Amino acid sequence: MGIPLQAEGETFGVLWIYKLALDAFDQEDLQLAQIFANQVSVALSNARLYEHVRLLSETDGLTGLLNSRSLLDLTERAVNHALATGGCVSLFFIDCDNFKKINDCFGHPVGDQFLRFFATLLLEGIREGDVVIRYAGDEFIILLPNTNLEAATIIGGRLIELIRVKTMQDNPALHTTISMGLATYPKHAVFAEDLIKHADDALYASKRNGKDQLSVYAPVLADIQGNIQTNPT
């Protein structure tokens, strides 16, 4: 006996019930199976709706990337896995060096178009299993599970070179360079929050030192950043 699993006019499965006998099911069996199938359909439909809403809440509407709401959870999972396996986790904090100029010269709609293009470049420059997140504005994060500092540094260098040479096909005047900060678990941090913060500290070191480069987190960089913030003169 097969009962369709349906909700709101959509069929997304079938409930099959088997019995090793001829003429094993009567009308009452069919009615009971239909009631059960209806309950299962509603439960599955609600689960799918919940997952859809969750994905929407964690997805950046402009680029289609994950947004900052998913950052801490994903980083904690990667760090916990590395802790259990004795592995490493690396994290890039990335900033477009001249995005404000693009907005000022071409307008925000073109700026949005460029951010979508930039997101595709980041996806092009990573490996399977790495995660790209739009953090805010023109700031992005790349989470690299199972990646030590040496490997992450190589990936970061390749990404910088990729961004330098790429322009939008329909608007070659639009291009950028990137400043990057890198921190690695467990070398630079043992907690997910600290890993994110230390990569951000390293990013600001890249921006202070002329942009278009990758900086690896070091405590002295964080100390300098803190002094600049507290003692502007």
d(CA 99, CA 85): 39
d(CA 13, CA 217): 51
Which of 138, 170, 212, 223 is flagged as catalytic? 138
What six digits make up the tokens of 76? 């904690």
Q: Is 201 a catalytic residue?
A: no
The verdict on whether omega for the bond into residue 186 sits within 30 degrees of 0, i.e. cis, is yes
What six digits make up the tokens of 186? 């467990």
Partners of 112 in beta bridges: none
One-letter amino acid at 41 equals: S
d(CA 90, CA 148): 6
According to DSSP, residue 21 is labeled S
- For residue 127, which of 110, 147, 112 has the smallest C-alpha distance? 147
The residues, any chain, with a CB within 8 Å of residue 24's CB and separated by 6 or more, are none
According to DSSP, residue 88 is labeled -
Residues with active-site annotation: 138
